[in-house]
Amino acid sequence: MKIKTLTAVMCALTLLSSCGKTVVVREDNSGKDATSAVVEPVIVGKKGVTDKIDLSSLSHDKIGYGQGVQVDDKNRTTGALDFNAKYGNLNAKAINDDDKIYLTFDQGYENGYTEKILDVLKEKKVKATFFLLQDYAEKNPELVRRMIDEGHTVGNHSVHHYSMPDLGQAECETEIKDFHKYMKDNYNYTMTVFRPPMGEFSEFSLGVTANCGYETVLWSYAYADWDVNNQPDEAGSLEKLISAAHPGAIYLLHSVSRTNTDILADFIDGVRAAGYKFG
């Protein structure tokens, strides 16, 4: 399989945690805090974990996740591999340990494209994970019901889209559990995966999430697709997405993107032509 160098969106933020500690978040994986680029992803995914994590020794320092631009010999982003190695014991992952491709969509609000996205996924026989805010689930019941009925995974993206490491334990739990209860009460659906808003987390917030019975799922590839007023070029985006394919890839796409919607079918076909299957 021909491997190309990908260009990815990088998080480069200096953030202040709720504990008053300043943390500089790296732009890529070339910094001194990076682990080996050849580290294998740990096996995670203990959905419904019953053993509670001891939160007392976990750091409250805020970290802004970004997969970076460096890749290993399998085209896997080393930032995602590093995340698994560091936080897999907190029931969190940014890449899977198999050879398949996984599509995830963040659904902060509805921009008129979700129906077409669902149509394409149905036509191509691909399942995806849609990370919803509670407000989205409240305002778009027909789309949410369709996601469930067509076999997609509905993930928890919190009630209010707050930065989880800025919250205390009780507030973190409320952001997760209140939406969990809403989905159970209104859709008879039990969510098991969580994506922290803005990709911001701390060891402590990951531990709280795990103790709520959730697996934290970040991503191993994302690109600048979220600005509805500055949508990327379709041909260039398609090339980026296909060339970024790698074993266990978790793609983060935003469903508000016109570009993503228009190229989704070709992207699926291109990845399959490269020899991959979708998980």
List the catalytic residues.
106, 254
Q: What is the C-alpha to C-alpha distance for residues 68 and 11, in angstroms, rounded to an integer?
A: 8
H/E element holding 105? strand 102-107
* C-alpha 119, offset from chain centre: 22
- CA dist 194 and 49 (Å) reads 13
CB 182 within 8 A of CB 203: no
- DSSP characters for 194-256? E--GGGEE-HHHHHHHHHTT-EEE--SEE-S---TTSPPPHHHHHHHHHHT--TT-EEEEETT
Distance of CA 251 to the CA centre of its chain: 7
Pick from 102, 104, 62: nearest CA to 225: 104
If you ran DSSP here, which 8-state letter would residue 108 be given? S
Backbone CA torsion sign across 229, 103, 153, 161: negative
